[in-house]
Amino acid sequence: ETGEAAWLRYAPIKDPHALKQYASLPQTAVSLDHSLIASSAEKELTRGIQSMLARTLREVPKLPNENAFVLGTVTDLRSRFSELQSGQVTGDGFWLKTVHHRGHAYTVIAGADESGILYGTFALLSRVAQLQDVSNLDDRETPAEPIRWVDQWDNLNGSIERGYAGRSIFFDNGHVRADLTRVNEYARLLASVGINGCNVNNVNAAPDVLSDASLKELARIADAFRPWGVRMALSVNIASPQTVDKLDTFDPLDPRVQAWWSSKADEIYRLIPDFAGFTVKADSEGQLGPSSYGRTPADAANVLARALKAHGGVVLYRAFVYNHHLDWRDPKADRARAAYDIFHPLDGKFDDNVVLQIKHGPIDFQAREPVSPLLGGLEHTNEAMEVQITQEYTGQQRHLCFLIPMWKEVLDFDLHAKPAPTPVKDILAGKVFQRPLGGIVGVANVGLDANWLEHPLAMANLYGFGRLAWDPDLSPQTIAEEWTRLTFGNDPLVVQTITAMQLASWHIYESYTGPLGAGTMTDIIGVHYGPGIESSERNGWGQWHRADHDGIGMDRTVATGTGYIGQYHEPVAAMYESLASCPDNLLLFMHHVSYTYKLHSGKTVIQHIYDSHYEGAEAAAHLITQWKTLQGRVDDERYKDVLQRLIYQAGHAIVWRDAICEWFLKTSGIPDEKGRAGHHPNRIEAELMELDGYTPVEISPWETASGGKAVT
């Protein structure tokens, strides 16, 4: 068990009851659709049934006079089966239906389109793998939104920005890899949860991605994706006309620049007929953008969109635009305001095939953030929400952190963009403002590691991302259970234990890394991994928490702070503005308070910081105990792999706990009521030992090493 098969293990079914039930499944399959994607579906069905039930399906060309699996589009199948006459499936949806016809039982997999046939096939196989009854099906599913993409931040040299699972599956040494087997497997995994697009290169796009030579190579990736209905997209550098073809400008309003984009788009579609579109990071973190010419993001986005329009392509323009040279001395400076301040005034100015790609929170994938107010601030603009599957600020796949509960909270959050409820999921689905396009994009960053994301339990985030993109009404519990059954089997104790661990993990991680909405208290400028309280402050990046000897938190109120809260509609704004109604878990995101301020829980802020860090580290240690109950119930390879990671995590949680508690103890001067912070009765400091060949060194920032010292 390397983990490579992920949730598509199709493990042989041994349960006698299930085997009996599945004995009556058809022995024959027919696909009445002859597209490439439908043929992948038929092959997948044969593969899954073979692997789970040790039975080889006979693939026949015409509807046979016996029980059969029947694949096709709803439109085609309607003429044969009257049971499919009424009932709608749209988008990439599917209909699984058992139909009785001329004395035979047909298991029909009908897709609204070719992709729907494939998604329906995966859905059916997933039900079998979970031992569900499939003898009398009548399930119709339609995805919530048309854009269900993953982004990969892969560089052409083979490295991956914020990737924690090995090198790129796409690129090496400046070129597309010769062997794209893993790319094909990746597309299959993505398709199995309904993902229909993948942007393959870093949003910090290399200047020559769009060169003729590069496009020819990139077309091979699109070829590997195509059988699975995954369309390839590319991050583009807005200065491409200059960097690729030496134009003397990249001003979006210059006709030569417009002509360049349009002929580039024509060239791309000649090579890649199903090309999905461009992702754009501009005027952000050092990337050039339309501001170089005094133009707006809408000016730039529309030029690209018009070039793609005739070919059916879209532009995902990222709203992650902010000034990373903010003045930290200015009490009104606030990075959280940036996306709304820049994009809200442009509402209505974007073409119909532009989608604003908005990070779920206003800062940057922290362990806890409020929902971005921009998601509720646009009525005439398509929106896609960006989440991060790769755990940049959430433990980098060394810590267990199941992010589905976090995303689910965001999707369900009512931004009150209208008098009737307007949860984020409805805005993204285009239902609130009748937008033609919308969706969700997850930064996945899988790598060449056999198990794709390094931590065997981290793939639940990729799986869950796809499931939520398809159906945001699914609960985190359902998703965790499904994933566990598919990945580790149906043993009830395994399902229950792993589900419980996953569901608890985000809160555990949050509680030892960042209190009360202050963000992940990590170094902001470097790797974003271990504790680093001071390194967040006194720099231009704006991920501040303003902790000093009296108090902590960013005052984002309208009354006395940066005014960020005013970007929300009422009554959300009023809820955050008032200390009385601001939820504890976002208190320090919204307000600056003293350490002795009393939370709704009745605790002071400082005591909460101590308690939550001790409780979090203890809960991390408890994960080990939980996992150990599964020895012998899951395969040895993955058992051991997870176990050593959990042991590491528990240790690192102590490092976090002590760094944060000691920093706040020293800074506030207020002791921990329970006497724990600053006391380590059983600890032996390495620098106090006699160590041959090692020298004690001072560490900066001091809180990241016990006693501020380490040995080298």
Of 650, 599, 155, give the one whose Cα is nearest residue 163: 155
**Gap between the Cα atoms of 595 and 610, Å rounded:** 11
Q: What x/- string results for residues 283 through 302 when contact with ligand BDP is judged by CB under 6 A? A: --x-----------------
Is residue 397 within 8 A of residue 462, CB to CB? The reply is no
Catalytic residue among 283, 351, 392, 449: 392
Give the residue with the Cβ less far from ligand BDP, 320 or 465.
Answer: 320
The reply to whether 281 sits near ligand BDP by the rule CB under 6 A is yes
Catalytic residue among 92, 364, 482, 611: 364
Q: Is the peptide bond before 146 cis (omega within 30 degrees of 0)?
A: no
Give the residue nearest to ligand BDP (CB).
Answer: 364
For the CB of residue 371, give the shortest distance to ligand BDP in the complex, in Å: 17
Q: Which residues contact 174 (CB under 8 A, 6 or more apart)?
A: 156, 157
For the CB of residue 532, give the shortest distance to ligand BDP in the complex, in Å: 14
For the CB of residue 162, give the shortest distance to ligand BDP in the complex, in Å: 5
Of 524, 575, 533, give the one whose Cα is nearest residue 335: 524
In the set 365, 512, 627, 656, which binds ligand BDP (CB under 6 A)?
Answer: 365
Active-site residue, 285 included? yes
What's the Cα-to-Cα distance from 533 to each of 111, 543, 547, 662, rounded to whole Å? 52, 11, 9, 11
> Both ends of the chain: CA-CA distance in Å?
38
Query: And the tokens for 375?
Result: 């998601």
What single-letter DSSP state applies at residue 56? P
For the CB of residue 206, give the shortest distance to ligand BDP in the complex, in Å: 13
Catalytic residue among 133, 285, 352, 550: 285
Q: What x/- string results for residues 495 through 534 when contact with ligand BDP is judged by CB under 6 A? A: ----------------------------------------
Write out the binding residues for ligand BDP, residues 173-212 only, by CB under 6 A: 203-204
Ordered DSSP codes for 416-456: -SSSS--BHHHHHTTTTTT-S-EEEEEE----SSTTSSSST
For the CB of residue 304, give the shortest distance to ligand BDP in the complex, in Å: 18
Give the residue with the Cβ less far from ligand BDP, 392 or 662.
Answer: 392
The reply to whether 658 sits near ligand BDP by the rule CB under 6 A is no
Give the residue with the Cβ less far from ligand BDP, 364 or 482.
Answer: 364
The reply to whether 162 sits near ligand BDP by the rule CB under 6 A is yes
In the set 76, 161, 299, 412, which binds ligand BDP (CB under 6 A)?
Answer: 161
In the set 364, 369, 449, 703, which binds ligand BDP (CB under 6 A)?
Answer: 364
Is residue 13 within 8 A of residue 19, CB to CB? The reply is yes
For the CB of residue 537, give the shortest distance to ligand BDP in the complex, in Å: 18
What's the Cα-to-Cα distance from 643 to each of 3, 622, 625, 647, rounded to whole Å? 15, 12, 10, 6
The reply to whether 320 sits near ligand BDP by the rule CB under 6 A is yes
Q: How far, rounded to the nearest angstrom, does the alpha carbon of residue 447 sit from its chain's CA centroid?
A: 15
For the CB of residue 282, give the shortest distance to ligand BDP in the complex, in Å: 11
The reply to whether 323 sits near ligand BDP by the rule CB under 6 A is no
Of 468, 439, 352, 445, give the one whose Cα is nearest residue 396: 445
* CA angle in degrees (0–180, nearest 5) for 379-366-576: 55
Write out the binding residues for ligand BDP, residues 538-577 only, by CB under 6 A: none
Catalytic residues: 285, 364, 392
Positions that interact with ligand BDP (CB under 6 A): 161-162, 203-204, 281, 285, 320, 364-365, 392
